[in-house]
Structure 1
């Protein structure tokens, strides 16, 4: 109980407000991106349509070497980020283990706010938690991509689809496209965690920097997901 009280009183009110705004913004944007993407035509929604079209075209091909190669290529991105995230988590845990020395080094940087070692540990722990979350999303994305690869490998031959009719093609495209789309969404969540780790880094300078960086990062995410040039090209 005493430790909890010490934790609550360790951060000034402005820091708690900045931290609350940070999490509220993250949750609100994630909800907006997920539930309003289809109507707004986000990058993920548009590419999900492309994924479904890919799976539909797969049912017409006799040779599916290309589809297997594409599945393998899609798996490489979350695999790379998962490996990188493990290294980042290891570095952050090492910094937590030597927080007094790390805190002294950070405080020597210009414009950083002088805080206690406990507050510094809280900031490092939050940063570690974000990358742990990103790691779980990346690894879940990898698993879902492997499920999609299994669907590609187990797809009936084009001749069988001809016998079953167009409805069988549509059902397969819906199912396989949805699985690959969920893998892409999990990867997108992990990548969003990387972006939103930057405001926490800004928090080492001041709570105002945390709030400004949160707004800036969400603005960049919105522009890339809903207003980017590549999105316009994909819509065309």
Structure 2
């Protein structure tokens, strides 16, 4: 059977499900980073706290607290980058093990060529790989932020103190955006795994991923707490 004949096992519903997943990934990321003024996302709310943090850092002596928080943020990016790298290795190992793929097909009572299963594994691998790159970049930008933070004087009368603190704040926000983008890749990567159950599974998995992210960004208790000014 030729490769083109093998791809005939994909249906129009498969194509629509993949397009739905990719469009949801792109559109949701844009909406979260550029939310409507009437409903600000949790990520955008925290961004303002990051700016305030850097301004208050100017007069904080010593800055052990600030260094600890930044180190914790970098550890989070390192951990998730490592987890993504392990997932990528596992996915590639599964693709190279044809016998295992045939076993999965038999367990699901689905008859399909091995290349179909390999393509279905490639889709979540795409998201996990993109997430890995985002986490690596986030870690690096948090490092840049730390360098700029270290250059901020404790003297509030220093004319460079506030501009550099504000610069550190923007770097912190940029790193957080890359981190959040990596997290979205993980969510959609998990949703993409449901393609192994068929196109309907992919549609449902993508919808669940969208629901979870929308709820956490726009309707979560965390967001409600950040919005309150009386706490």
1:101 equivalent in structure 2: 99
- C-alpha contact (below 8 Å) 1:53/1:173 kept by paired residues: no
| Structure 1 segments of 4+ aligned residues over 4 angstroms from their partners | 5-8
Which residue pairs with 1:57 in the alignment? 56
Aligned twin of 2:223: 231
- Deviation, structure 1 residue 43: 1.1
Contact (CA 8 Å) 1:37, 1:44: kept in 2 or not? Answer: no
Distance of aligned partners of 1:138 and 1:107 in 2 relative to their CA distance in 1, 3 Å threshold: same
> Could you say which residue in structure 2 is the equivalent of 1:162?
157
Instruction: Show the 5 A alignment for 1:14-33.
Output: 14-33=13-32
| Unaligned stretches of 5+ residues in structure 2 | none
Q: Distance in 2 between matches of 1:163 and 1:171?
A: 10
Q: Normalized against structure 2, the TM-score is what?
A: 0.91
Q: Over aligned residue pairs, what C-alpha RMSD do you find?
A: 1.9
Alpha-carbon deviation of 1:193?
0.8
8 Å CA contact 2:124, 2:189 repeated in 1:
yes
8 A Cα contact 2:43 2:217, kept in partner: yes
More helix by share: 1
Structure 1 runs not aligned, ≥5 long: none
Q: Report the Cα distance in structure 1 between the residues aligned to 2:165 and 2:137, rounded to whole angstroms.
A: 22
1:220 equivalent to 2:212? Answer yes
Decide which moves more: 54-63 or 31-40.
31-40
Q: Give the Cα separation in 2 of the matches to 1:215 and 1:8.
A: 25
Alignment of 1:75-224 (within 5 A): 75-98=74-97, 100-110=98-108, 113-157=110-154, 159=155, 161-164=156-159, 170-224=162-216
- The CA deviation at 1:70 is 1.1
